[in-house]
Structure 1
Amino acid sequence: MDAETETLALAIGRRVRDERQARDWTLDRLAAEAGVSRRMIVNVEQGAVNPSVGTLLRLSDALGIGLPALVEPRAVASDLVKVTRHGAGAALWSGERGGRGVLVAGTETPDVVELWDWTLEPGERHASEAHSTGTRELLQVLDGELVIEVGDATHALAVGDALTFPGDVDHAYANTADRPARFSLAVFEPGVGTTHREAGS
């Protein structure tokens, strides 16, 4: 891991541990709630791994805090406006050829909105498993060409094209062209944490 990734991994690990301990959950309990291994929880809390976006989503959903809360500094109650300066977002995905998925901003629970800045180099593809029920995604291609797979359907997009689709089915973003593609992505995940609160967890 480079220094930036290591710093982010340590910050995520501290937040996961703090949230788990605030609930008096054991490692096994969080592993069961999130559907990931106990070993992965230990590695995440120690900052020893750079977890996938899917793993981070599972953890944030299980903890009922939303993905932005895992990677952004804790909000102060009086902070109604938050500025994220250029280059200061959390790079949560890196492609084999240099592509990046950067979470640049997000809102708090229960209805979480994430704003992403994505770049896919030629030949790169990012597959995403289905998010929680009711999740919606909106994206717009800013540069290059993009292929979006939603369930069994494929959608080819060019610069300026936009797409809205359900994020609660398996989906993927791919660059099959010969130049980089950049797109802005918004993810709306309603009711984060309400399942656990209703269950009395």
Structure 2
Amino acid sequence: MDQSTTILAMAIGGRVRQERQSRGWTLDQLSEAAGVSRRMVVNVEQGAANPSVGTLLRISDALGVGLPALVESPQPKPVKVTRRGEGAALWNGESGGRGVLVAGTESPDVVELWDWTLGPGDHHVSEAHSPGTKELLQVQQGTITVVVADQSVILDAGDALTFPGDVAHSYANPGTEPARFSLAVFEPGVGSGHRPAVTDA
């Protein structure tokens, strides 16, 4: 992990530990509630892991706080500003792509705003989110292919798409130039414990 990834991993680990301890939960209790291994919870809390977005979603949902709460510092003010370059890079592609969480709201109805870049050939597969999740996407640059369940859609710059996020979906850049898109995710009822347990992948 590079320095910025290490700093982010340590910050996430500290927030997970703080939220777990504030509930009086053991590592095993969080592991069971989130449907991830105890080892993964330990690694996340120690900042030793670079967990998938799916793993972080399961942990944040189990804690009832939403993913943005794990990557943002608590701020008492109603207005939160994320300056350029300050977002949380939670995904890195093999061809230079990045998925950066730039803003989000608190639970129970969480809205996340992402800035995605996919390098040529980059491909990101997302597991199904919790029931009722919706996603909105707009391409800023290049061309991307979005697959939602068994439907594939090709989008060019300026095109937008609305789709259910509670089914498996993926984003890919089939071109030779970088592609960039904005993504908003609405996840209702975070913390109600309805996310299915899956293995750490």
**Per-residue deviation, 1:65:** 0.3
Give the counterpart letter for 1:5 in structure 2.
T
1:84-99 pair list within 5 angstroms:
84-99=82-97
Unaligned runs of 5+ in 2: 195-201
Q: 2:185 aligns with which of 174, 187, 193?
A: 187
- Read off the aligned partner of 2:170 and give its amino acid letter: A
* Pairing of 1:1-201 with structure 2 (within 5 A): 1-76=1-76, 79-195=77-193
* CA RMSD, Structure 1 to Structure 2 (Å): 0.9
**Structure 2 Cα separation of the partners of residues 110 and 62 of structure 1:** 12
User: How many angstroms does 1:107 deviate by?
Assistant: 0.5
Q: Whole-Å Cα distance in 2 between the matches of residues 194 and 128 of structure 1? A: 21
Asked whether the 8 Å contact 2:62–2:193 carries over to 1, the reply is no
Counterparts of 2:96 and 2:19, CA distance in 1: 32
Partner-residue secondary structure (3-state), 1:127: strand
Conservation of the 8 A alpha-carbon contact between 2:61 and 2:192: no
User: So what's the TM-score if we normalise by structure 2?
Assistant: 0.95
2:74 counterpart letter in structure 1 = R
- Structure 1 segments, 4+ long, off by >2 Å, are none
**Equivalents in 2 of 1:161, 1:13: separation in Å?**
37
Q: Which amino acid aligns with 2:56?
A: L
Question: Secondary structure of the equivalent of 1:51?
Answer: coil
Cα deviation for residue 195 of structure 1 reads: 4.3
Q: CA deviation at 1:152?
A: 0.6
What is the letter of the counterpart of residue 27 of structure 2?
L
- Give percent identity, aligned residues only: 71
Task: Give ranges in structure 1 of 5+ residues lacking alignment.
Answer: 197-201
Task: Find the counterpart in structure 2 of residue 199 from structure 1.
Answer: none
Whose RCO is larger (CA < 8 A, sep 6+)?
2
TM-score (norm. length: structure 1) = 0.95
